[in-house]
Structure 1
Amino acid sequence: MTTKAKELLAEIKPDTKLGDLRKIAKEIKKNHDLALELWESEEFKPRLLAILIMDKKELSEEVLDALCLDMAIQTYDERNNLMDWLMTNHLTKTKREKAILESWKDSSIVLQRRAFWSYQGRLRWTGKNMTDDTEALLEDIEERIMDEDPEVQWAMNFTAGWIGVYDETLRDRCVSLGEETELYKGDFVSKGCTPNYLPEFIRIETDKRATK
């Protein structure tokens, strides 16, 4: 292991703030070899930093598969955060990476399926994609959500929520989906946060936009 990698691993603590990781990454810029050294530590915060300094050009489909499989050793929240950072910082930046991301709907790797659905939800949340494939995606969610792994269920539910908010023609189906599955019904949410239970989520988020 290089001296730089050892120094960073000694510097980054479990309570290191995400903003501090971004500052460190800004100083390093891109350094894929260093990123791989940090990744091999198997520690959560160093892996977040590793993602920030990876070189997109080195992220082939095979490399991405390996990274996603590696994330499985982390806790539920940690691996989902790592996947979100990988998606946000790399997979949504160029047409090549977006094409890879969009090919993951039926991937055998759980986190890749989660990333596909999370990306579809974010597109609709930001108003960037209300295309003709929306109803087909909702049909897939209706058929598969109860058989999926928990993290994929969450992402499918997230996508159905934003479809319900922005597509009036499909809103009743999205509400009915939540009523039938009862996913996240009665879950505690922090003050100011929107519940994940679809009927409540769609009503609250729709009302917010109606008052603007």
Structure 2
Amino acid sequence: MERSSKAESILDQINSKTKLGDLRKIAKDVKKDHNLAMELWSSGELLPRLLAILIMDNKLLSQDLINKLSKDMQDHPLDERNQLMDWLMANQLSKDKKTVTLMESWRNSPSSLQRRIFWYYQARLRWLGQTPPPNTEELLSTIEKQIENEEPEVQWAMNFTAGWIGVFDKKHRIRCIGIGEKTGLYKGEMVSKGCTPDYLPEFIAIESNKRNL
């Protein structure tokens, strides 16, 4: 894609020292500019793509375009593509009813990143204190059947969902702890100071104690 002088000027401002806060400042100045977002996205680089997501018009985020973005993300290392997809969810997909409906349809998407976001969004509904849909039993059954065979990026999000269900829904707490004990996912994994381990028995105990639940 041939880029405009505006896109080139913005790209010149981004380097290895650029922080996420700097990207947000640029996005605040630019506001919404979907064409510019696509130009920045075409750079193929992480930081310009994170900025592109901030200035996209979510009204133009069709399933076809999201499929293209998801495919492009696969060119990044695992941590970067997860960051890009999670950033897209938080800053765009969760902001519009149409794209929320799309996310809710991705449980069996052929895209592992879209499946990740299906589960991450379900977790988000719970940890942000929103009233979750009445699908908890169904979600847990799917997690129990599929988590051990899923891609790593999807496993994490399924585990995260089970964790928050276990924190906020006491009647399912033992079941969620049992998922962690059975799979052993993230057991013994070291985490940074102040962070909660992802191993479900520890995660649920720590986060529920924080909230006196």
TM over 0.5: yes
Partner deviation per Cα, 1:135-192 (whole Å, 9 max, x = no partner) = 1101100100000000000000000000000111110010011001000000001111
Counterparts of 1:37 and 1:202 in 2: how far apart (Å)? 43
Aligned to 2:159: 157
1:98 pairs, out of 87, 91, 100, with 100
Q: Which runs of 5+ in 2 are unaligned?
A: none
Given the alignment of the two structures, is residue 18 of structure 1 paired with residue 31 of structure 2, yes or no? no
Counterparts of 1:169 and 1:105 in 2: how far apart (Å)? 24
Partner deviation per Cα, 1:50-81 (whole Å, 9 max, x = no partner) = 00111112111111111111101111111111
Aligned to 2:199: 197
Aligned to 2:136: 134
Q: Which runs of 5+ in 1 are unaligned?
A: none
Aligned to 1:114: 116
Aligned to 1:88: 90
Aligned to 1:180: 182
The aligned amino acid for 2:158 is: M
Counterparts of 2:17 and 2:145 in 1: how far apart (Å)? 41
User: Scaled by the length of structure 1, what TM-score is found?
Assistant: 0.97
Counterparts of 2:106 and 2:132 in 1: how far apart (Å)? 19
Counterparts of 2:105 and 2:34 in 1: how far apart (Å)? 25
Partner deviation per Cα, 1:70-118 (whole Å, 9 max, x = no partner) = 1011111111111111101111112111100100110000100000100
CA contact (8 A) 2:70 2:113 kept: yes
Percent identity over the alignment is: 59
Shift of 1:132: 2.2
Shift of 1:14: 2.3
Counterparts of 2:16 and 2:79 in 1: how far apart (Å)? 14
How many residue pairs get aligned? The number is 211
Shift of 1:130: 3.4
Query: Secondary structure at 1:117's aligned position in 2?
Result: helix
